[in-house]
Amino acid sequence: MKKIKIFLILGAWLLIPKNTYAQSTNLTISVTVGEQISKLYGYTSPEAEVSLITDPNVIENTQSDSTGYFEFANFYISSRTSEMCLEAVDRNSRTTNPVCIPSPSQEDSNVSIGPVILPPSLTINNGYFIVNQTVAATGESLPDSEVRVSFFSEDKLNLIPKTYAFALPAYTIKTDSKGYYSLNLPSSASNTFRIFSQAIFSNQPSPKSNTLTFKVFSPFWKLIIFLIIIFIIALALIGWFRKHRKKSIMVVNNYPSVIDYQLENIPPHIVSKLVKRDSDRLR
C-alpha cells in the first residue's frame, strides 16, 4: 500500500510543468492612471535645482545644465490634476517664484510641453538704507541673456492712508556666462521702493521674480536736528507750566486775608466757623 502512495506522488510531480515557477517570477503588472507627459522642458539659471509639483504630495526634481536647460521626461499626472508648477533654487539657495501651467486635456496623450522660462532669482543686500548709501541687487538667470529690473517708488500723499506707486525707468542688464547679474539701485531720496526682475527670452519677458521692498531714510544728522527742536519745544512748555503753577500757589496763600476782608458784615459765630473750616483746609 505504501508503494502505491509513493508512485502516485512521483507521477503528480512529473505531470507539473517545470517552467511554472520561472514564469510567475517574470510576471510584470503595469497600471497607468492619468495622462502621460513625454517631456516638459525649459530654462533657468545654470546648475539650479528644479522642482515639478503636480499634486501637493507629488514632487519630482532635476538639475539644470550649464546652459540653464532642464527637462522632465516620461512622467504621469493624475487626471484630477489641473495645473503643474515649476520652481528653482539657484546655487546661492535663492528660490524663484513658482510658475504654474495648466495640465493637458485628457484628449492629448504623450504630449511635449515647453519651453517654460522660469523667472530670475533676486536679492538685495539690506532692507533699510540711508540716502546715497549703496543698494546692491543680485540674482541669477539664463547665462548671457538680458534681465529687466523694474523699479517703483511708493509715496503717501499728505495724511491720506493710501499708497501710490510710481514707476521709475526700468534697468536692462546682461548676465555673465554663468548666469549671474548685479546692479546698484538709486538711493538719492528718502522713500520706500519695490523692485522685481524678469528674464528676456526670444524678446519676451519671463514671469516676474519675487518682489522686494526696501526703505531709504534721511541722513542721521537731520534726525538729530529734528530731535533737538522737539527737545527745545518740550523745555519751553515745561517752563510755562512751572510759571503758571507758581501763580496758583500765590493766590492760595493769600486766600485767608481775602476771606477776612469779605466777612466783616457776617455774624461773629458764622465767621468763626468759616475761618476754622478754611484754616483746616489750608493745613
At 21 the pLDDT is 35
In a domain, 247, yes or no: yes
**Listed range (130-144, 211-225, 245-259) with the worst mean pLDDT:** 245-259
In a domain, 22, yes or no: no
In a domain, 131, yes or no: yes
At 59 the pLDDT is 81
Q: Are residues 185 and 139 in the same domain?
A: yes
In a domain, 45, yes or no: yes
In a domain, 275, yes or no: yes
Eight-state DSSP code of residue 159: T
Rounded Cα–Cα distance for residues 128 and 278 (Å): 64
Rounded Cα–Cα distance for residues 200 and 141 (Å): 10
Residue 56 has, within 13 A of its CA and on its CB side, a CA count of 0
Q: Which of 179, 197, 218 is the last residue of a domain?
A: 218
Rounded Cα–Cα distance for residues 283 and 279 (Å): 6
Predicted confidence band at 22 (pLDDT cuts at 50, 70, 90)?
very low
Structural domain that includes position 199: 123-218
Give me 190's grid cell.
528718502
Q: Are residues 107 and 130 in the same domain?
A: no
CATH code assigned at 194: 2.60.40.2550
Q: Are residues 184 and 244 in the same domain?
A: no
Q: Which of 84, 117, 150 is the last residue of a domain?
A: 117
Q: Are residues 135 and 186 in the same domain?
A: yes
Checking if the pLDDT of 16 tops 50, the result is no
Q: Which of 202, 218, 234 is the last residue of a domain?
A: 218
Q: Are residues 145 and 173 in the same domain?
A: yes
At 266 the pLDDT is 62
Q: What is the pLDDT of residues 88-100, one digit of tens each?
A: 999 999 999 999 9
Q: Are residues 200 and 257 in the same domain?
A: no
Q: Are residues 96 and 75 in the same domain?
A: yes
In a domain, 12, yes or no: no
Give me 241's grid cell.
507750566
Q: Are residues 169 and 251 in the same domain?
A: no
Given the C-alpha cell 503717501, which residue does it identify? 156
Q: Are residues 214 and 142 in the same domain?
A: yes
Q: Are residues 66 and 96 in the same domain?
A: yes
Q: Are strands 212-217 and 99-102 parallel, antiparallel or unpaired?
A: unpaired
Give me 195's grid cell.
523692485
In a domain, 60, yes or no: yes
Q: Are residues 77 and 94 in the same domain?
A: yes
Q: Are residues 240 and 204 in the same domain?
A: no
Rounded Cα–Cα distance for residues 77 and 166 (Å): 43
Number of C-beta neighbours around residue 45 at 10 A: 29
CATH code assigned at 61: 2.60.40.3110
Average pLDDT, the chain: 76
Rounded Cα–Cα distance for residues 147 and 201 (Å): 9
Number of domain units in the chain: 3
**Listed range (117-131, 173-187, 252-266) with the worst mean pLDDT:** 252-266
Predicted confidence band at 281 (pLDDT cuts at 50, 70, 90)?
low
In a domain, 274, yes or no: yes
Eight-state DSSP code of residue 96: P
Average pLDDT for 174-203: 90
